Each structure stands twice: as C-alpha cells, then as structure tokens.
Structure 1
Amino acid sequence: VVGPVVEELTYRGLGITLLAPYGRWLAIVGTGVLFGLAHGLLIDLPVLVVFGIAVGWVRVRTSSVYPGMLLHGTFNGVALLASVLVAH
C-alpha cells in the first residue's frame, strides 16, 4: 500500500510537475522510463515503462495522482496474486 502511494507522489506528482515545462509528453514518457528503471528489473522493464507511461497519462488527464495510486495498487495486487498462483 505504501509503495504505490510513495511512487505515485514521486514520479507522477513531483516528476511530472518538474518536467511539464519541457512538454507534456516528455514529462509522461520521462517519468515512465525513470519509473521502470528505478525498479531494477530488466526482464520487467518494458512492462514497467509502459505502465509508468499509462499512469503518467492518467495523471495528466485527470490532474490528480489519486487515480494513479488506485491503478498502481491494483497492478501490484494482481502481480502479487499472479506470482503466488504461479508458485503453487
């Protein structure tokens, strides 16, 4: 629960706000790439970057980090459930 909140405040809140003067798409794609790289999982990098860009788009579209927090929490929950199911 804490991870999605902190990451959304960091990447989509602060990150997009700081990069927005350079263009909306640079802010969205830039924070998406940084989000993916920050996880340090090369095998998951494409999925994480696409997810980061999608949530960045939601942030810009809604002018709020709250929908992204909900999406991020749901994404993490589904990923955790999938990993548990695959392990069994």
Structure 2
Amino acid sequence: MHAPLVVGLGRIGVAISGLAPNLPSGNATADLAALSTTPAPGISVALRAALRLGCRARAVGTHGADLLGQLARSALRDAGVDAE
C-alpha cells in the first residue's frame, strides 16, 4: 500500500533572515553576522509537514527563474518533496 500523496498548489517563495550583532540606531546600517534562506511559509511548510507524517509530497506551482527560485526548488527536493 502506498502512502497518501499530498499535493501543494501555489507560489513557492523564499524567506530570508539575517542576524545582526546589534540593532542600529536611526537610519544607520548594521553588519550581518549570518544570513539564512529557507522556503517561505505556505505550501512548502505544509508539504514538509506531510512528509513528517508519513505522506508523499508533491509541489505544483510557480517559483522565480532566478537564484532564489532555484534555492526554493532545491530546498524542497532536499527535504524529499517531488518538485519536478
């Protein structure tokens, strides 16, 4: 028997988070100590949750043709989501 297939339909985005050693005052700039990118909340998170519950997961939707779009697609694939 196959595990249930969960299909996520929609736009696949990327969340970018930065970690700064301190908060700048006013309009000052701050250096980043770290930068992290992950698939943005939405279908990406739902599909990864489905995988953890034992389901198969497939993403059907759009993502950018740029580097961030490639990053989102790669992250889904690495998590086990069928993103072809």
Larger helix proportion, structure 1 or 2? 1
- Bin for the TM-score computed over the shorter chain: under 0.3
TM-score by length of 2: 0.25
TM-score by length of 1: 0.24
Larger strand proportion, structure 1 or 2? 2
